[in-house]
């Protein structure tokens, strides 16, 4: 992640402000996801598997030692062979050392190393994607809690309105139509409340699936730092730091080495070899004493040994066009990888510009919605005052209350959308990973390079890691969520009633 500039330290300030007891912050949610999200843990394991391709390719250029052993019982001997043994033990050891392979090993190792770099970039992308999902889920819970609160308040207000309308109807001040209008609006508000509660429960369950814990009194998120001032600035940063684009470039580099590996199939291979063999006929070669076959004849050797060493060269002459086909295939794949770079670049540019536009639009909507809320509050106050002197109908009051509610919901939604769009913009720019977000202060950063350095030079055939166990947390024991709002004593028409 070098060359990214100063660390953004997103959410660092969250630890400086004391949060209420049992409250969750966005930073805490990201830390929990970083530790226990199964998608992220699986991506790390996949990267460790990719790391092993380097020692696998290196092994083709390392010495190869093998031993053989065989015990044989000769069940029927040739009638013309008077010295044939009845049984034999054969042992052998052979060492081979590759000297030249036409560059196949060297280029295969380089390709594997490039794919390790590509995998590390893809892991960064997975990390950013998971964090983006966590931020969206966090903001969804906050938004839906606010909407449930607004909807519950609307039910209370309309219940009071209905009671007042009914009282005025009883004294002949209003008509049955006014009462029916109030009843209809209250029924709609109760329906909206239940829908909002269902959406809140779904948002909380999504949060649990990503974070691994139930949300508890989520606190407002801190401001997003490091956001660009222009779309062009964002694109310039993304072209240097976006992990998907970096991965595409690394894969193209690896594909270039694959061309050389395929071409090496036409070149000679040279290796050194040495070996030792030992044969023992267990006293059964001709001349053995019949009564005691373990006693060998004095003039017949019952064992032999040998050693050899040399140079082996293999020169391909004709292989039916296979090497050329493999190389053309590798060239075509390299061409595809180059095109993938352009495709990834296009996607990054489109993502960044779209995220920037969405972020700017959401900011403008926030400003407009705030103005709309203020205007709707003044309008409702005026309509109620005019209704009290008979200049406005009950329907006018109901409409004004609905307009205020709509404006408040739009404002809450716009704030959620602006924050999510801003974080998505940072992710597209390659600035929404654990290091960027200041999570390294917890000492929990996962560095994939450490595992690569651990395994890339290993030689021992019997080396292995501990048996795998799940690293992510299960959520089966977390109770099903409800639609209760923290700090709220009751909600009208709660689905949990």
Q: Can you spell out the DSSP letters for 211-277?
A: HSS---SBPPPPPPPS--SSHHHHHHHHHHH-HHHHHHHHHHHHHHHHHHHHHGGGS-EEEEEEEEE
Q: How many angstroms from the chain centroid is the CA of residue 245?
A: 16
pTM score, whole prediction: 0.86
> For residue range 198-244, what is the model confidence (pLDDT) as tens digits?
999 999 999 999 999 999 989 999 999 889 999 999 999 999 999 99
Query: In this structure, is the dihedral angle defined by the CA atoms of residues 169, 171, 174 and 175, taken in order, positive or negative?
Result: positive
Distance CA 348, CA 78 (A): 78
Residues 430-448 have a mean pLDDT of 84
Residue predicted with more confidence, 165 or 124? 124
Confidence band for 299, pLDDT divided at 50, 70 and 90: low
* Per-domain boundaries in the chain: 26-67+101-268+323-437
Q: How many angstroms from the chain centroid is the CA of residue 293?
A: 70
316 has a pLDDT exceeding 90:
yes
Mean pLDDT of the chain: 88
Residue predicted with more confidence, 341 or 78? 341
Distance CA 261, CA 329 (A): 12
Which pLDDT value is given to residue 84?
Answer: 77
Which pLDDT value is given to residue 493?
Answer: 44
| 431-455 burial code (b ≥16 CB/10 A, e <16) | bbbbbbbbbeeeeeeeebeebbeee
Which pLDDT value is given to residue 175?
Answer: 87
Neighbours of 294 (CB within 10 A): 9
Distance CA 303, CA 298 (A): 13
Provide the CATH number for the domain formed by 26-67+101-268+323-437 in this structure: 1.20.1600.10
Which pLDDT value is given to residue 125?
Answer: 96
Residue predicted with more confidence, 56 or 173? 56
Q: How many angstroms from the chain centroid is the CA of residue 333?
A: 26
- 435: CB partners within 8 A, 6+ apart: 1, 7, 445
Is residue 420 within 8 Å of residue 139, measured between CB atoms?
Answer: yes
Residue of 405, 458, 476 whose CA lies nearest to 55: 458
> For residue range 459-476, what is the model confidence (pLDDT) as tens digits?
998 999 999 999 888 999
Helix axis angle, 394-428 to 231-241, nearest 10°? 40
> For residue range 271-294, what is the model confidence (pLDDT) as tens digits?
999 999 999 988 887 654 444 555
Residue of 143, 218, 138 whose CA lies nearest to 408: 143
Residues 75-83 have a mean pLDDT of 70
Long-range CB contacts (within 8 A, 24+) of 9-16: 9/225, 9/437, 9/438, 10/222, 10/224, 10/225, 10/226, 10/426, 10/432, 10/436, 10/437, 10/438, 11/221, 11/222, 11/437, 11/438, 12/438, 12/441, 13/222, 14/219, 14/222
* Residue located via tokens 């010295």: 83
Which pLDDT value is given to residue 442?
Answer: 53
Residue predicted with more confidence, 299 or 189? 189
């Amino acid at each position: 992640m070098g060359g990214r500039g100063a660390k953004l330290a997103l959410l660092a300030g969250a630890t400086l402000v004391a949060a209420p007891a049992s409250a969750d912050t966005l930073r805490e949610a990201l830390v929990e996801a970083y530790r226990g999200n199964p998608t992220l843990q699986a991506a790390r394991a996949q990267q460790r598997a990719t790391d092993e391709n380097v020692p696998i390719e290196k092994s083709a250029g390392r010495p190869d030692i093998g031993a053989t052993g065989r015990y044989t019982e000769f069940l029927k001997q040739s009638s013309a062979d008077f010295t044939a043994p009845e049984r034999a033990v054969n042992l052998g050891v052979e060492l081979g050392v590759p000297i030249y392979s036409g560059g196949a090993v060297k280029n295969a190792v380089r390709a594997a190393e490039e794919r390790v770099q590509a995998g590390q970039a893809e892991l960064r992308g997975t990390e950013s994607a998971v964090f983006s999902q966590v931020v969206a889920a966090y903001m969804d819970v906050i938004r839906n809690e606010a909407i449930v609160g607004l909807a519950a308040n609307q039910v209370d207000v309309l219940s009071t309105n209905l009671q007042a309308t009914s009282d005025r109807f009883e004294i002949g001040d209003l008509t049955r139509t006014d009462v029916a209008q109030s009843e209809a609006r209250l029924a709609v508000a109760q329906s909206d409340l239940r829908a909002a509660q269902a959406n809140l429960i779904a948002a909380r369950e999504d949060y649990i699936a990503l974070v691994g814990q139930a949300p508890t009194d989520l606190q407002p998120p801190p401001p997003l730092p490091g956001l660009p001032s222009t779309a062009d600035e964002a694109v310039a940063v993304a072209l240097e730091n976006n992990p998907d684009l970096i991965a595409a470039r690394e894969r193209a580099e690896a594909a270039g080495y694959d061309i050389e590996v395929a071409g090496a199939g036409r070149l000679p291979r040279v290796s050194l070899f040495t070996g030792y063999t030992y044969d023992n006929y267990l006293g059964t070669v001709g001349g053995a004493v019949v009564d005691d076959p373990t006693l060998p004849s004095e003039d017949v050797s019952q064992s032999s040994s040998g050693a050899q060493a040399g140079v082996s060269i293999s020169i391909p002459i004709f292989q039916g066009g296979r090497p050329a086909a493999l190389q053309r295939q590798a060239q075509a794949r390299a061409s595809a990888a180059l095109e993938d770079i352009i495709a990834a670049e296009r996607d990054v540019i489109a993502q960044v510009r779209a995220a920037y536009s969405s972020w700017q639009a959401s900011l403008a909507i926030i400003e407009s919605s705030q103005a709309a809320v203020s205007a709707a509050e003044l309008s409702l106050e005026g309509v109620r005052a005019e209704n009290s002197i008979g200049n406005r109908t009950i329907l006018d009051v109901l409409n004004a209350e609905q307009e205020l509610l709509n404006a408040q919901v739009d404002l809450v939604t716009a704030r959620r959308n602006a924050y999510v769009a801003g974080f998505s913009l940072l992710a597209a720019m390659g600035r929404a990973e654990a290091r960027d977000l200041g999570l390294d202060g917890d000492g929990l950063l996962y560095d994939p390079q450490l595992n690569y350095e651990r395994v890339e030079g290993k030689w021992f055939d019997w080396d292995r890691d501990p048996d795998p166990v799940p690293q992510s947390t299960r959520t089966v024991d977390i109770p099903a969520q409800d639609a209760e709002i923290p700090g709220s004593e009751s909600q009208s028409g709660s689905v949990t009633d």
